[in-house]
Amino acid sequence: MNFRAVRAIYKFEMSRTFRTLLQSVVSPVVSTSLYFVVFGSAIGSRITQVEGVSYGTFIVPGLVMLSVLTQSITNASFGIYFPKFVGTIYEILSAPVSYVEIVLGYVGAAATKSIIVGLIILATAGLFVPLHIHHPIWMLIFLILTSVTFSLFGFIIGIWADGFEKLQMIPLLIITPLTFLGGSFYSISMLPSGWQTVALFNPVVYLISGFRWSFYEIADVSVAVSIGMTLGFLAICMGIVWWIFKTGYRLKN
């Protein structure tokens, strides 16, 4: 294992994050505050409680997930797409590193950044509503699992994309709608019964449900199913990454 290489890639990616600190940290804080003003105050004045939790408090896990998902995908996809775009990828490919080490470096850095952003949003939310986390360990496990899984997914997008449009397409057209429809701002039980069934095909529902359970012990689906689905998606992403490096897809041809 070439740990020095993993560290070099990780450090490089993290320093890229710190160079853009304002954009990386301030913008999620601002947008979270906006969500609280719009959703928490405007809608929260009409829906006072969801399953025994005040509406403002109820949306916190969903808001954190919303940011963690988009941040993970954006960071990881950009992290690997940019060297491809400017050509510096040549050095990574010609270095004595295995694909596991490359993925550890890039995905590790992207996941670290989205975990940091997730925790910052949580802290920001704490300024607006009282927070109580029933299962902090599980909360962290869900946060880390989701960050890693979606950073891997972003890494795949970054390798697949051959233009900036494709790079933006998946987060904008698939992830954002899935997150909004995945119960960030409501409980699935609030939907008409037909739509409840449709919602179960949305993988994000399981992530948000499990994450929300770690806060308030309320969930749309059972926690075991949430964890199972997350691990399943993680396994699929790992499989695709393995295939990419085995065949050299979009990297070595």
Partner 1 sequence: MSPIISISGLSKTYATGFMALKTIDLGINRGEIFALLGPNGAGKTTLISIICGIANPSTGHVLVDGHDIQRDYRAARSLIGLVPQELHTDAFESVWGTVSFSRGLFGKPKNPAHIEKVLRDLSLWDKKDSKIVTLSGGMKRRVMIAKALSHEPQILFLDEPTAGVDVELRKGMWDVMRTLQASGVTIILTTHYIEEAEEMADRVGVINKGEIILVEEKAKLMQKLGRKRMKLHLGSPLTEVPTALSTYNLALADDGKELVYTYDTKSERTGITSLLADLRDAGIKFTDLETTQSSLEDIFVSLVRA
The one segment of 36-44, 92-100, 167-175, 183-191 that binds partner 1 by CB under 8 A: 92-100
Residue type at position 111: A
164 lies in the site for partner 1, by CB under 8 A: no
Task: Give how many residues touch partner 1 by CB under 8 A.
Answer: 25
Q: Which of 239, 186, 233 is nearest to 207 (CA)?
A: 233
24/147 with CB nearer partner 1: 24
89/140 with CB nearer partner 1: 89
93 lies in the site for partner 1, by CB under 8 A: yes
22 lies in the site for partner 1, by CB under 8 A: no
Q: Are 58 and 39 in contact (CB under 8 A)?
A: no
137 lies in the site for partner 1, by CB under 8 A: no
Calpha distance 153→72 (Å, rounded)? 8
Residue type at position 20: T
- Applying CB under 8 A, among 91, 192, 194, 201 the residue interacting with partner 1 is 91
Calpha distance 180→65 (Å, rounded)? 10
- Applying CB under 8 A, among 37, 38, 95, 123 the residue interacting with partner 1 is 95
Residues 208, 171, 41: CA angle, nearest 5 degrees: 50
Calpha distance 55→41 (Å, rounded)? 9
Q: Which of 31, 12, 16, 126 is nearest to 70 (CA)?
A: 31
14 lies in the site for partner 1, by CB under 8 A: no
94 lies in the site for partner 1, by CB under 8 A: yes
- Applying CB under 8 A, among 52, 87, 130, 192 the residue interacting with partner 1 is 87
What are the phi and psi torsion angles at 248 (to 5°)? 75, 20
Chain residues that interact with partner 1, rule: CB under 8 A: 2, 4-5, 7-9, 11-12, 15, 19, 86-88, 90-98, 248, 252-253
